[in-house]
């Protein structure tokens, strides 16, 4: 159910019946020559729609800006601070609770948002201990990713505009991908990047962290379907927890 398409006269009963709100959270940032600036928004939106179909949840309008400090100097990137993102999420979460929602699931398309999402969830939990808050970022996909990956990851945590993320886009939002412009750029990311602020232009000029030319729709499907299945299980588990409380 698309929340912004509802009307005020009918939505209250639907909220009380569903109790679950999904907030897609993305970012606007460089994703190489073959993917759009809004890649993370498209991924978060498409994932949220798929999960909502199976859980009876409402999908909120996408929060389209994220914390992209590492890529803020690349053309097209728009960065907001963790502090701003935390405040925005908390305000949304409070409004949802007051409207009658009891499960608030954030589906994230951008790794850089993770710190703010976790902190916002803690603040909301402190205020409303019976509020089930989930921050979801492709949960439980490591095995599926390892099975389809043809190249070694550039980093233990990051994947960006590479074989993996491009495969996600080919599966979920193929119309925004131009594979004729896909490149292979495997940067040497220094160990120091994990322990001190490091703008990505220090180790990449393309914002591509791997071989995007190896991306396929089939690879994306295998990983994404695992992520969707796990997100559905986690949301359903949160709903069951409400019933037992």
- The CATH number of whichever domain residue 212 belongs to comes to 3.40.50.10310
Tell me how many domains the chain contains: 1
Global pTM reads 0.95
**pLDDT interval class at 64 (50, 70, 90):** very high
Where in the sequence is the domain holding 106, given as residue range(s)? 3-244
pLDDT of amino acid 245: 59
Nearest residue to 82 (alpha-carbon basis) of 57, 107, 110, 59: 110
State yes or no: pLDDT of 186 exceeds 80: yes
Phi, psi of 138 (to 5 degrees): 45, 60
Helix axes 217-244, 39-55, angle to 10 degrees: 50
Which pLDDT tens digit goes with each residue over 84-137?
Answer: 999 999 999 999 999 999 999 999 999 999 999 999 999 999 999 999 999 999
Give yes or no for a contact between 117 and 108, defined as CB atoms under 8 angstroms apart.
yes
**Could you tell me what percentage of the chain is helix, strand and coil, using 3-state DSSP and rounding each to the nearest 5?**
50, 10, 35
Nearest residue to 66 (alpha-carbon basis) of 32, 104, 115: 115
Which pLDDT tens digit goes with each residue over 150-173?
Answer: 988 878 788 999 999 999 999 999
> Percent of the chain, pLDDT > 70?
99
């Amino acid at each position: 159910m698309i929340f912004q398409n509802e009307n005020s006269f009918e939505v209250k009963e639907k909220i009380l019946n569903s109790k679950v709100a999904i907030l897609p959270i993305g970012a606007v940032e460089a994703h190489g020559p073959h993917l759009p600036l809004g890649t993370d928004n498209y991924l978060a939106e498409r994932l949220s729609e798929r999960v909502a179909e199976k859980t009876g949840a409402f999908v909120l309008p996408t929060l389209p800006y994220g914390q992209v400090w590492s890529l803020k100097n690349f053309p097209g990137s728009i960065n907001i601070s963790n502090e701003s993102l935390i405040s925005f999420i908390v305000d949304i979460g409070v409004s949802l609770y007051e409207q009658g929602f009891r499960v608030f699931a954030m589906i994230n398309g951008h790794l850089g948002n993770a710190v703010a999402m976790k902190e916002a969830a803690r603040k909301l939990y402190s205020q409303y201990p019976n509020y089930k808050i989930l921050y979801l970022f492709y949960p439980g996909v490591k095995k599926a990713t390892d099975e389809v990956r043809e190249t070694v990851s550039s980093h233990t945590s990051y994947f960006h505009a590479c074989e993996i993320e491009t495969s996600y886009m080919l599966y979920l939002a193929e119309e925004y991908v131009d594979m004729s412009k896909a490149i292979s750029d495997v940067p040497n990311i220094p160990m120091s990047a994990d322990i001190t602020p490091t703008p990505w232009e220090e180790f990449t000029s393309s914002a591509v962290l791997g071989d995007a030319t190896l991306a396929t729709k089939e690879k994306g499907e295998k990983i994404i379907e695992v992520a969707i299945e796990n997100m559905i299980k986690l949301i359903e588990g949160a709903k069951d927890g409400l019933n037992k409380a």
